Amino acid sequence: MACLSLWTAALAGLSACSQQDSASTAGAATSSPTQSVSPTTHPHSQGTPGADPTTSPLAPPTVTPVIRDGVRPHPSISARPQPFDRPVTYPDGVRFAVTGIDQGRVTGQGPGVVAGPKTTFHLRFTNGSGRAISLDQVVPTAEFGSPAHLARPVYDDRTQDFGTTVEPGATATATYAFSIPKADLSHVTIHLDFDGRHVAATFRGSAA
């Protein structure tokens, strides 16, 4: 099962601040407390609802751990951010790798569907640790540009969550897509918050 992304959390924060002074709106969106998320099913449709990516909210300055099942995590295992062509490897042997990136466009029709660019990331998770790791509530977040803005997630028949528990020595794959303006593909960051023990895996660089 999937989790709501920081895009959803950011929009909720903006909505809550709609009656405040407009000068404080951006600050409220970027400094809000850790958001709690719960599993939801991606609508695998022939398009995706949302706004023009250029109107996306600013990304928060730091990534805060996701609250799962009402428990505030305190992750202690971290890994260095990597470019998209190198794996993010944790000291306990857990590893994420981007196995492919491709570009396309949202072409669906229907209420709320907005055609636009689509960048798809193919991911592989390898559990080199000594314990099983649940990937049932992975929260992927993408940022683009400078200053960084949150990218709108795209849900179609190609996107697929990990949605499984990975035993020691096993692997799992997933595919996530985001609407990222072509002009900003050289400045992209992906965060993968996957459990309460590990700090989110981060890839950054050119996704062109």
- Hey, what CATH class is 2-205 in? mainly beta
Structure tokens at 47: 């398009």
**C-alpha separations of 67 from 114, 132, 135, 154, 181 in Å:** 31, 20, 14, 23, 30
Give me the pLDDT at residue 158, please: 87
User: Which pTM does this prediction carry?
Assistant: 0.77
Q: Count CB atoms within 10 A of the CB of residue 21.
A: 8
**Cβ(7)–Cβ(153) below 8 Å:** yes
Q: Report the number of secondary-structure helices (H) and strands (E) in the chain.
A: 2, 15
Pairing between β-strand 67-68 and β-strand 36-37 as defined by DSSP bridges: parallel
β-bridge pairing 165-166 and 116-127: unpaired
Tell me if 119 sits within 8 A of 180, measured CB to CB: yes
What is the DSSP code (8-state) at residue 58?
B
pLDDT at site 42: 44
Which residues does 87 contact at the CB level (< 8 Å), separation at least 6?
A: 95, 96, 97
102-137 b/e (C-beta count within 10 Å ≥ 16 → b): eeeebebeeeebeebbbbbbbbbbbbebeeebebbb
Contact 180, 153 (CB under 8 A): no
pLDDT < 70 regions, the chain: 1-54, 108-114
> Using an 8 Å Cβ cutoff, are 200 and 63 in contact?
yes
The domains of the chain are located at 2-205
| 95 closest CA partner among 206, 4, 190, 172 | 172
Q: What is the pLDDT of residue 165?
A: 98
CA dihedral over 94, 32, 67, 161, signed as positive or negative: negative
Q: What pLDDT is recorded for position 152?
A: 93
